[in-house]
């Protein structure tokens, strides 16, 4: 007996609601397409793209203790990973030490637990910081984690100017989609701008901000919303930097982005092209950037965690491979491929190896890197690029009309738009208008059979003892002085990053440093 395929709906559209015709022909007049590497960089930021250099394979890793995550880093580097990307647990993201009551039940669960310079030293043990770039997905506590990396590098005799990497430092999207904020928006923006200023002046190889559409998409946005709201946040950050007196060309050269690589394959390729073109215009026309490197939208991509299923997790390998190919055809600069088991738990070694091998097969066996922008000139992809740019621009205009990204967030506009899109997407799945193979169609009720990673239950107890030892051995007076100086400085306009670095050198902990700033900045409570 042959099974029937699900009945197809009469009309077709992308996840952004853009109607898709059965076939596309040329427009009335073929536009002249600039080459890759030429403004507005629709076709890629480099002339030959991956022919000269492959994208950085940067697997997002972090769990348990610093030592355990260090072993995972080394495991991946030994198997051909070309850059590091670190995930931190919720207490670290929220500014709490492992021994804080608020950390109960969360230490090491969704990322690595880092509270002190000793933890960071252990995390980076044996990692050649002058050779391997490090990306850190951290926002509210970004300044502290950056200072910890710099302090460890200093201990090895490596000047901060030689360090390459990225700190996410995109706190606006925390108020929109993720929730790991500490301070009110104004204080958070001040701190984010301090990090940008510090890196522009002292760390030229470091990306001080990675403006993230990834989490906006994971919260349920469409592709057009992902572009529009991400670039709106970018405009807010650049505006603050310009008001600070920073050179827009210098800032633009070190700004990076972080996008989702979702399921609708061709729309995703077009999304990356549209985002590049739109940002190049913003930098040139709105901010007056003249350096082509400042006009380029450089981005990291990660495959879409929200599309992975707990049912039939082996199917996730296929989903990830297709999403990764969309990211590379769209011209990403670095890529993380999710693991098959991430809907169940943090990934095992076997799972992360498959995810890394997916990138390596894509890079070395498919021929994809041989040509820049292979979809350039495709009637469909060019039309989709135009349409996504238009719809994203409409969102940008609506945010501008509300007074910018911060005002739009405070008014709840961005959050409500994403919530509406997420609801519509879930409704489409419930009605089987959108098929998820193995979930709402072709479903196998058998339980997943793959092994999952287990986090040791007494992790917080061990981390608390480690912190107690640190506090006994350090100079309490030096810590108190550094924290007092930092707290006083929050009431001035001085850049806080050097003072945070001084506190780190004195062996102050992440929780203590964040607490010193919280005493002045206050704590953000979202409106009900």
Q: What average pLDDT does this structure show over 116-144? A: 97
Q: Is 471 inside a domain boundary?
A: no
Q: What is the CA radius of gyration of the chain?
A: 23
The pLDDT tens digits for 465-496 are 999 999 999 999 999 999 999 999 999 999 99
Determine contact, residues 330/271, Cβ cutoff 8 Å. yes
pLDDT of residue 2: 45
In a domain, 45, yes or no: no
Q: Among the listed ranges 216-220, 314-318, 498-502, 524-528, which one has the minimum average pLDDT value? A: 524-528
pLDDT digits (tens, 9 = 90+) for 195-215: 999 999 999 999 999 999 999
**Within 10 A of 328 (CB to CB), how many other CB atoms are there?**
24
* Distance in angstroms (rounded) separating the CA atoms of residues 519 and 409: 24
Domain CATH number, residue 306:
3.20.20.240
User: Distance between CA atoms of 376 and 395, rounded to whole angstroms?
Assistant: 25
∠ CA(453), CA(102), CA(177), 5° rounding? 70
DSSP for 396-432? HHHHHHTTSHHHHHHTTHHHHHHHHHHHHHHHHHHTT
CA distances from 428 to 115, 209, 419, 444 (A): 43, 35, 14, 20
For residue 505, tell me if it sits in a domain.
no
Query: Taking 70 as the threshold, does the pLDDT of residue 356 lie above it?
Result: yes
Residues 507 and 33: their CA atoms lie apart, in Å, by 55
Phi then psi for residue 499, to 5 deg, are -75, -35
Alpha-carbon torsion angle 375, 381, 387, 391, nearest 10: -60
pTM given for the model: 0.94
Number of folded domains that form the chain:
1
pLDDT band (50, 70, 90) for residue 1: very low
Rounded mean pLDDT of the chain? Answer: 94
Q: Which residue stretches of 48-98 are H helix?
A: 66-78, 90-94
pLDDT at position 32 is: 77
Residue 141 near residue 508 (C-beta atoms within 8 A): no
Residue 201: CB atoms within 10 Å: 13
CB 210 within 8 A of CB 300: yes
Q: Is residue 509 part of a domain?
A: no
Q: What percent of the chain has pLDDT over 70?
A: 97
Contact partners, residue 250, CB within 8 Å, separation at least 6: 200, 294
Are 142 and 167 in contact by the 8 Å Cβ rule? The answer is yes
d(CA 438, CA 313): 9
Q: What pLDDT is attached to residue 220? A: 97
Going through 20-98 in order, the beta strands assigned E by DSSP cover 56-61, 83-87
Q: Does 306 reside within a domain?
A: yes
What mean pLDDT do residues 55-66 have?
A: 96
Q: Residue 108: what are its φ and ψ, rounded to 5°?
A: 75, 10
Please indicate, yes or no, if residue 482 is contained in any of the structural domains.
no
Distance CA 260, CA 213 (A): 7
Is the Cα dihedral 226, 229, 230, 232 positive or negative? Answer: positive
pLDDT tens sequence across 370-418: 999 999 999 999 999 999 999 999 999 999 999 999 999 999 999 999 9
Q: Rounded mean pLDDT of 172-201?
A: 97
Alpha carbons 351 and 348: distance in angstroms, whole number: 5
152-165 residue pLDDT tens: 999 999 999 999 99
- Whether residue 302 lies inside any domain: the answer is yes
Binned at pLDDT 50, 70 and 90, residue 30 comes out as low
**Domain residues for 81?**
54-430
**Has residue 73 got a pLDDT over 60?**
yes
- Plot region of 312 (φ>0 → left; ψ -120 to 50 → alpha; else → beta): left
Residue 294's CB is within 10 A of a number of other CB atoms, namely 22
DSSP string, 277-289: HHHHHIIIIIS--
* Residue 454 placed within a domain: no
């Amino acid at each position: 007996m042959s099974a029937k395929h699900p009945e197809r709906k009469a009309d077709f559209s992308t996840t952004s609601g853009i109607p898709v015709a059965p076939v596309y022909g040329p427009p009335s007049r073929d536009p002249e397409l600039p080459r890759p590497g030429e403004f507005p960089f629709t076709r890629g930021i480099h002339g030959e793209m991956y022919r000269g250099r492959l994208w950085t394979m940067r697997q997002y890793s972090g769990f348990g203790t610093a030592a355990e995550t260090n072993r995972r880093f080394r495991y991946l580097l030994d198997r051909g990973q070309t850059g590091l990307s670190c995930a931190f647990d919720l207490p670290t993201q929220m500014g709490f030490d492992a021994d804080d009551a608020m950390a109960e039940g969360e230490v090491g669960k969704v990322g690595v637990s880092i509270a002190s310079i000793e933890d960071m030293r252990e995390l980076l043990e044996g990692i050649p910081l002058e050779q391997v770039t490090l990306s850190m997905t951290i926002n509210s506590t970004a300044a502290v984690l950056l200072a910890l990396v710099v302090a460890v590098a200093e201990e090895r005799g490596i000047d901060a100017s030689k360090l390459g990497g990225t700190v996410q430092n995109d706190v606006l999207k925390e108020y929109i989609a993720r929730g790991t904020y500490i301070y009110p928006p104004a204080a958070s923006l001040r701190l984010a701008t301090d990090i940008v200023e510090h890196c522009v002046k002292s760390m030229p190889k470091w990306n001080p901000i990675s403006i993230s559409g990834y989490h906006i998409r994971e919260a349920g946005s469409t592709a057009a919303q992902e572009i529009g709201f991400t670039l709106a946040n970018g405009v807010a950050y650049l505006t603050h930097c310009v008001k600070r007196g920073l050179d827009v060309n210098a800032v633009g050269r070190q700004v990076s982005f972080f996008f989702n690589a979702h399921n609708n394959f061709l729309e995703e390729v077009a999304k990356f092209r549209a985002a590049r073109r739109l940002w190049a215009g913003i930098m040139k026309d709105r901010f007056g950037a003249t350096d082509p490197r400042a006009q380029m939208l450089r981005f990291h991509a990660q495959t879409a965690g929200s599309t992975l299923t707990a049912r039939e997790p082996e199917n996730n390998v296929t989903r990830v491979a297709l999403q990764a190919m969309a990211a590379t055809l769209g011209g990403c600069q670095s890529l993380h491929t999710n693991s098959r088991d991430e809907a169940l738990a943090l990934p095992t070694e076997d799972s992360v190896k498959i995810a890394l091998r997916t990138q390596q097969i894509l890079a070395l066996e498919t021929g994809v890197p041989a040509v820049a922008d292979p979809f350039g000139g495709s009637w469909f992809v060019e039309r989709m690029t135009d349409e996504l740019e238009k719809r994203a621009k409409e969102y940008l205009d609506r945010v501008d009309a509300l007074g910018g990204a911060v005002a739009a967030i405070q008014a709840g506009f961005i959050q409500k738009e994403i919530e509406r899109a997420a609801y519509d997407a879930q409704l489409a799945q419930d009605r089987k208008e959108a098929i998820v193979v193995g979930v709402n169609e072709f479903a196998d009720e058998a339980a997943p059979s793959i092994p999952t990673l287990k986090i040791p239950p007494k992790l917080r107890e061990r981390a608390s003892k480690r912190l107690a030892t640190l506090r006994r051995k350090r100079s309490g007076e030096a810590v108190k002085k550094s924290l007092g100086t930092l707290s006083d400085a929050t009431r001035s306009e001085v850049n806080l990053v050097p003072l945070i670095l001084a506190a780190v050198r004195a062996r102050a902990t992440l929780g203590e440093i964040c607490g010193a700033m919280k005493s002045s900045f206050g704590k953000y409570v979202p409106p009900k």
